[in-house]
Structure 1
Amino acid sequence: MSDIQTYAQTNAPAKTGKIMLVGLGPGAVEHMTGRARAAIAEADTIIGYVTYVRLVADLIDGKEVIKKSMTEELDRAIEALDRAKQGKKVALISSGDAGVYGMAGPTFEVLFQAGWTPDSDIEVEIVPGASALNTCAALVGAPLTHDFCAISLSDLLTPWPTIARRLDAVAYSDFVVALYNPKSGRRTRQIQEAQRIFLRHRDPNTPVAIVKSAFRPKQRLEFTTLEKMAEADIGMLSTVLIGNSNTFIQGGLMVTPRGYANKYDVAEGERSTKGGEQAGRSLSTGLNGWLEAIRESGKSAAELAVEYRLPEDYIAAALAAGPEEDIAESAEAEA
């Protein structure tokens, strides 16, 4: 440690208060991390949406409890900062993970606007928790084994065109997608529009799982297809998981293959590498193999762009780059 760092730590202001952004996971004590339970026990004040406070009711006896409504996220953060300025330890709770559509973002916005920095006398700790994405996936099988993303359909703070562009991009790109906040009493059409966008790019029979109140008393699971998704029982407490082109449902489980079948044959409990493939190496259709193939194809950038569903200018740049660049990148990766 340098002298400057030592001096800075020695002369930094003493921490007077603390804000702990606690992810509760689904809510039951057995699904919380040990640190989440310890943070709640350590706190003087508990702040959260009334439903989330109810989830930890047996852990907060004797503490100051501040309950807020659904749309009062900034008010929760302001209350947390106010109590921390008084020297209190505050547990600001979120279901799932506080950094995934949770209270971490709004809290930092409030803190930064108030002039807070990490060196200030108020300490901030983020306590991670299992997100709805993880918990819902665990209930239905293994839908997230390959590339995935999450999109919220709530247009209370995000313009619909922005949401629609994101939906279109991920639908086209064949991601497995988790839809948060898919529907509410007032927002009923957003899930229909999401379905319309996905059907532009995906097979109508694409598997869909709908999980309501994961790991809670009113838990409900439903499997359906993209074509029938909007007809399902979907509400504000639901998370919608849309599979990719390889996702399947078998034995009551939704599974997205990782891609081992592209490289290996498995027969009678033994694994063998397919012709042209090498264990531990990129696929023959990986980057370098693909670059070699398109250069040898004799096709134009426009033709290849249609074939591979990639931007023409990207294809043109790949064709223009010399094979020497591929070799250099491969050697660097193996070093």
Structure 2
Amino acid sequence: MSKLYIVGIGSGNVKTMTMRALECIKSSRVVVGYDGYIELIKDLVKDKIVISSGMGQEVKRCRIAVEKVKEGYDTCIVSSGDAGLYGMAGLVLEIENRINFEVVPGVSAVFLAASCLGAPLMDDMCTVSLSDHLIPWEVVKKRLVAAVQGDFVIALYNPRSHLRPYNLEKAVQLLLSYRDKNTPVGIVKNAGRKGERVIITTLGKVEYEVVDMMTTVIVGNSRTYIKDNTIITPRGYPI
């Protein structure tokens, strides 16, 4: 029976990809994905039937992947990071969950970014996407307020784009209403990829212009601190 693999490719670098993700890509006859993600794994899919498309075609890609499985092809649909976190897993299963499928986890951008910063995620944390393309901004604001009031370390996904140039600034100003301006912030662009850039700063000194959609922003909680250019959120062990 043919199978659909819903694969998280992490950064797209084979060094940060799970062995299972590599196995599933290699065993698939068809690989479906966003143009940019297919480019990242182009060396892995040279002998495959590759179906790629641009932003905004997510539903179409998922439907194609499902149809290819029904046609008898082992098929892989790829997401960056983890397929179950802002990836394709949910959308595929909303469309069709009565096929033979496997969700293959990947290393999410938040963990790749955290590894560049030190140990910012050692306490309770959450992720919030600043994209208001699918979720209204009022809902995004509500989630940010709940996260900061709960004193979570907050990882911001989709922080800033040319279509949403001010969402990160609006989010930071909202967080500053609840959190000290000296709260550590880590900004990691292209985590685990060529062109990786790491910036350690504070909530009151975020440079918005350096941030884009390939960037993850991690905001510390009330106990997070910077030590020797490393961000640390203590777990609470007595030392």
Correspondence for 1:326: none
Give the direction of change, closer, same or farther, for the CA distance of 1:242–1:219 in structure 2 (3 Å limit). Answer: same
Question: 1:156-171 alignment to 2 at 5 Å?
Answer: 156-171=133-148
Task: Measure how far apart 1:231 and its partner are.
Answer: 3.8
The 2-side partners of 1:107 and 1:90 are apart by 12
Structure with greater contact order relative to length (CA < 8 Å, sep ≥ 6): 2
Question: 1:1-335 alignment to 2 at 5 Å?
Answer: 15=1, 17-111=2-96, 116-117=97-98, 122-231=99-208, 233-260=210-237, 264=238, 266=239
The 2-side partners of 1:106 and 1:230 are apart by 34
Structure 1, unpaired ranges of 5+ = 1-14, 267-335
Secondary structure of 2:141 counterpart: helix
The 1-side partners of 2:149 and 2:206 are apart by 18
**What amino acid is the match of 1:88?**
Y
Residue identity over aligned pairs, in percent, reads 43
**What amino acid is the match of 2:192?**
F
Task: Measure how far apart 1:243 and its partner are.
Answer: 0.3
**What amino acid is the match of 1:134?**
F
Give the direction of change, closer, same or farther, for the CA distance of 1:90–1:195 in structure 2 (3 Å limit). Answer: same
TM-score (norm 1): 0.70
The 2-side partners of 1:167 and 1:229 are apart by 17
Secondary structure of 1:162 counterpart: helix
The 2-side partners of 1:138 and 1:186 are apart by 29
The 1-side partners of 2:178 and 2:228 are apart by 27
Correspondence for 1:3: none
The 2-side partners of 1:177 and 1:105 are apart by 22
Task: Measure how far apart 1:232 and its partner are.
Answer: 5.2
Structure 2, unpaired ranges of 5+ = none
**What amino acid is the match of 1:87?**
G
Higher helix share: 1
**What amino acid is the match of 1:243?**
G
CA-to-partner distance for each residue in 1:247-300, whole Å, 9 max, x for gaps? 01111110000012xxx3x4xxxxxxxxxxxxxxxxxxxxxxxxxxxxxxxxxx
Secondary structure of 2:114 counterpart: helix
| Count of residues in Structure 1 that have an aligned counterpart in Structure 2 | 239
Given that residues 195 and 230 in structure 1 are in contact (C-alpha distance below 8 angstroms), is that contact kept between their aligned partners in structure 2?
no
Query: 4+ runs of 1 displaced by more than 4 Å?
Result: none
CA-to-partner distance for each residue in 1:105-145, whole Å, 9 max, x for gaps? 1111111xxxx43xxxx311011110001110001100000
